Amino acid sequence: MTFGQYVNLDFDQIKTSIRDYLRANSNFTDYDFEGSNLSIIIDALAYNTYITAYNTNMAVNESFLDSATLRENVVSLARNIGYVPRSTRSARAKISFSVTGLTGKVTLKLKSGIICNGIAANTTYVFSLPEDITVNVVDGVAKFNEIEIYEGSFITQNFTVNTAQYNQRYILQNSFIDTSTLRVKVKPTQNSSTSVTYKQLDNIIGITSTSSSYLLQEIEDEKYEILFGDGVIGKKLSNNNYITVTYIITSGKEGNGAAEFSFVGNIVDQDNAAIDPDKISLVSTDESSRDGDTIESISSIKYYAPRIYSSQYRAVTASDYESVLAYIYPNIESVTAYGGEELVPPRFGKVFISAKPRNGDFLSDNTKRELIQKLKSYAVAGIVPEFIDLKYLYVELKSFVYYNTNFSDDPNNLKSLISDALTQYSRSIDVNKFGGRFKYSRTQTLIDGVDSSITSNITRVVMRRNLNAEIGKFAQYELCFGNKFHTAESSYNITSTGFRINGVPDVVYMSDEVIDKNQGRIFFFTYTEGGVPSVIKKNAGVVKYDIGEILIDTVNILFTSISNNVIEVQAVPHSNDVVGLRDLYVRLDMTNTSLSMVQDIISSGENTSGSRFTRESSYNVPTYTRTSLSPVTTSALTTTTATSNIAVSNVTTSTSATSSSFTGSSTTSGSTTSSSSSSGSSSSGSSSGGSSSSYY
């Protein structure tokens, strides 16, 4: 009879299936399968079937890129579609120094190898140079300017080609290699004085039978193998050819942040004579070490391998640019690209790219120039790539957390636990990326799940953009939030921190006046605590509520109360789920997130009727100005503004002299309220978002 078909790997079901099979056999009609010795045999058969099925399932899983879990298998499957995973990357720094007192010298050569010792996080690291650098001597001085050095040890490995050896392999015997520092030279024989430098390829387009090139692939234990041509695709090596391979093995991202360097390298003149170390000046640091990173993760390989394959190493669509950029620049945490035709007005023939590096907030101008040059070899003719600085869209929370005092009598400890949970969420991929989305329901669930004593929470959401003012210049500004604004009032739906403009001695704020459901006007005003706002410019710009955009007309800003020439502008989103549209990078700002613990006297049994229960509003309380805990400008502002409000950052309760409600002050039940004046500044504290994300 036919054996039963298995639909899963459950041991008990396998055992039951075997037992049913035997019972259906007339030879075993009178057997007791539960108590007889035959039960042991059935267990053995079931275990054998279970283990075999499990091994088969795992083996099949390792045959597909999506389900493979072992790195060797993931790398092998990616190799089948031409993808080479990113290696460990050395931290790079730029240094300068000079050599003086040179007589009769024409050129100096800085030899490849170990160059400097650098200090990062109280640890000394070795920095090396992958190839020689030669400079001219002018008036007895040789200047080595902006020399790029790589963290790690310089390694040399040699091979001799033996055509009699079947399937000879050229395997680099070290892990943690930065493959971008790999240099391959081939000499006819070991004793030859000339050599040919071979170039690494990522595809075979344009390669002929005489091309001096090689391919690189990752093998087991995160090591690499060099593949040379076969006479059809690339030049074929001959017997006794001598191969010299140099590379740097690195500590990866641990080498980031080194800013102090001491020279330990080797410099020779045109006659290969060593230079006296006393003639070498101290090393100056042009750029601290950066961009060091670990080897590409399994999840990253699974994500990028099929996308690079689909792009065929050319950039045509916006998604191609995103995939190619992550491939050529490993230090990318998140990237977005879009065509100029999506802009209003459209800018045809351009693709705009915004990228968030792993270490830092913005790409340097030098890095942008380097990446544009690299992208040109992938881009189609007529399309010009252009980098723009990413724009942060900050999400801030004001949460009132109800807790049962029978289960917890320490609100500060609860507050600390909630803060830790939100901080962890703020670092998740939900928000820290282009196209990220702050998920309101998940945040509420996260807060409720921190401790069993928490019964509920009322959480309000606001979003913020930082306007980077052009101090002392007439300029127009545009702030895109990418999310529809909520307009609960006829005015003051949008608030800002203070600033000064030309011709007005007092601190100025901006807000809005609703014209219709889609549009309003921006106006400037001054405000004194306890008084009424005084509008000084009624038509200062336009706000488009339906698309979440603020346009500010020409204005000369002289000063901002927030440091770094920043004006913080906040609005309430129409939806509590905030999305990072196009080039907006969503970030949950924990510094300006406030937490208030409220006793749930109904759950604790203190007041079961609910007559004394504290009800917090689910809606944002309108204010004239914005409360902020960002760093203030140290210079004094002449103003009499002093307002009161509470702001609880992380786990502490403090006061901030920024926001005033329509009644002159804003207080929160169960929290202390005080008034402060900070040299006329309208904000105090510290911020996690010191970088500006505005543009004009």
The model's pLDDT over 561-579, given as tens digits with 9 standing for 90+, comes to 888 889 999 999 999 998 8
Q: Is residue 301 part of a domain?
A: no
Given 334, 368, 388, which residue is the final one in a domain? 388
Angle ∠(209,212,213) on CA atoms, nearest 5: 95
pLDDT band per the 50, 70, 90 thresholds, residue 677: very low
Please check whether residues 479 and 542 belong to one and the same domain. yes
Q: Which of 310, 233, 305, 260 is nearest to 77 (CA)?
A: 305
Other CB atoms closer than 10 Å to residue 78's CB: what's the count?
25
State the residue for tokens 């807060």.
447
Please check whether residues 48 and 173 belong to one and the same domain. no
Please check whether residues 269 and 189 belong to one and the same domain. no
Looking at residue 583, what is its pLDDT?
78
Task: Convert the pLDDT of each residue in 60-83 to its tens digit.
Answer: 888 899 899 899 999 999 988 888
Looking at residue 619, what is its pLDDT?
86
- Provide the terminal-to-terminal Cα distance of the chain, rounded to the nearest Å: 79
Please check whether residues 148 and 118 belong to one and the same domain. yes
Beta bridge partners of 655: 646
Looking at residue 321, what is its pLDDT?
85
Q: Is the pLDDT of residue 640 over 50?
A: no
Phi, psi dihedrals of residue 593, rounded to the nearest 5°: -95, 130
The answer to whether 656 and 645 are in contact (CB under 8 A) is yes
Percentage, residues of the chain above pLDDT 90: 39
pLDDT band per the 50, 70, 90 thresholds, residue 633: low
Domain that holds residue 679: 390-696
Higher pLDDT, 627 or 74: 74
Looking at residue 683, what is its pLDDT?
32
Looking at residue 671, what is its pLDDT?
32
Two structure tokens written together for 662: 């329509």
Q: Is residue 4 part of a domain?
A: no
CATH (domain of 324): 3.30.300.200
Q: Is residue 533 part of a domain?
A: yes
The answer to whether 691 and 471 are in contact (CB under 8 A) is no
Averaged pLDDT, 295-314: 84
Please check whether residues 442 and 530 belong to one and the same domain. yes
Other CB atoms closer than 10 Å to residue 380's CB: what's the count?
9
Comparing 128-142, 358-372, 404-418, the range with the smallest average pLDDT is 358-372
pLDDT band per the 50, 70, 90 thresholds, residue 8: low
What is the pTM for the complete model shown?
A: 0.61
Looking at residue 112, what is its pLDDT?
92
CA 191 to chain centroid: 49
Comparing 297-306, 308-317, 626-635, the range with the smallest average pLDDT is 626-635
Q: Is residue 87 part of a domain?
A: no
Longest pairwise C-alpha distance within the chain: 109
Task: Convert the pLDDT of each residue in 478-537 to its tens digit.
Answer: 999 989 999 888 889 999 999 999 888 899 999 999 999 899 999 999 988 878 889 999
Q: Is the pLDDT of residue 550 over 90?
A: yes
Q: Is residue 604 part of a domain?
A: yes
Angle ∠(93,97,99) on CA atoms, nearest 5: 150
Q: How many separate helices (H) and strands (E) can be counted in the chain?
A: 8, 35
Looking at residue 54, what is its pLDDT?
80
Type and span of the H or E element at 628: none
The structural domain count of the chain equals 5
3-state secondary structure of 75: helix
Looking at residue 631, what is its pLDDT?
75
Q: Is the pLDDT of residue 680 over 70?
A: no
The answer to whether 99 and 157 are in contact (CB under 8 A) is no
Please check whether residues 142 and 232 belong to one and the same domain. no
Between CA 514 and CA 497 the distance in angstroms is 20
Please check whether residues 634 and 681 belong to one and the same domain. yes
Please check whether residues 396 and 321 belong to one and the same domain. no
Comparing 365-374, 456-465, 490-499, the range with the smallest average pLDDT is 365-374
Between CA 53 and CA 58 the distance in angstroms is 9
Looking at residue 31, what is its pLDDT?
67
Q: Is the pLDDT of residue 657 over 70?
A: no
Q: Is the pLDDT of residue 244 over 50?
A: yes
Torsional class of 680: left (φ above 0), alpha (ψ -120 to 50), beta (otherwise)? left
Q: Is the pLDDT of residue 331 over 80?
A: no
Comparing 24-33, 99-108, 485-494, 620-629, the range with the smallest average pLDDT is 24-33
Please check whether residues 368 and 261 belong to one and the same domain. no
Please check whether residues 136 and 175 belong to one and the same domain. no
**What type of residue is 379?**
A
**What type of residue is 391?**
K
Strand order across the beta sheet in which 260-263 lies: 260-263, 113-120, 123-129, 142-151, 92-99, 284-290
Two structure tokens written together for 558: 């002289």
Beta bridge partners of 141: 138
Q: Which of 666, 665, 479 is nearest to 566 (CA)?
A: 479
pLDDT band per the 50, 70, 90 thresholds, residue 35: low
Q: Is the pLDDT of residue 638 over 50?
A: no
Given 249, 270, 299, which residue is the final one in a domain? 249
Please check whether residues 468 and 535 belong to one and the same domain. yes
Q: Is residue 259 part of a domain?
A: yes
pLDDT band per the 50, 70, 90 thresholds, residue 305: confident
Please check whether residues 33 and 19 belong to one and the same domain. yes
Averaged pLDDT, 319-332: 80
Considering only CA atoms, give the Rg of the chain: 33
Q: Is the pLDDT of residue 419 over 50?
A: yes
Beta strand pairing status for 224-228 and 170-172? antiparallel
Averaged pLDDT, 333-351: 82
Averaged pLDDT, 332-349: 82
In whole numbers, what is the pLDDT of the chain averaged over residues? 82
Between CA 163 and CA 167 the distance in angstroms is 9
CA 46 to chain centroid: 49
Q: Is residue 84 part of a domain?
A: no
Looking at residue 624, what is its pLDDT?
87
For 68, residues 6+ apart whose C-beta sits below 8 A from its C-beta are: 61, 62, 74, 77
Averaged pLDDT, 631-648: 42
Q: Is 213 exposed, middle or buried (0-12, 13-18, 19+ CB in 10 A)?
A: buried
Q: Is residue 79 part of a domain?
A: no
Averaged pLDDT, 181-188: 94
Two structure tokens written together for 217: 């692939």
Given 234, 249, 264, which residue is the final one in a domain? 249
Higher pLDDT, 695 or 434: 434
Looking at residue 5, what is its pLDDT?
53
Task: Describe the crossing of helices 440-448 and 411-426 by its angle, rounded to 10 degrees.
Answer: 150
Averaged pLDDT, 600-608: 86
Q: Is 622 exposed, middle or buried (0-12, 13-18, 19+ CB in 10 A)?
A: middle
Other CB atoms closer than 10 Å to residue 56's CB: what's the count?
11
Q: Is 198 exposed, middle or buried (0-12, 13-18, 19+ CB in 10 A)?
A: buried
For 326, residues 6+ apart whose C-beta sits below 8 A from its C-beta are: 304, 332, 335
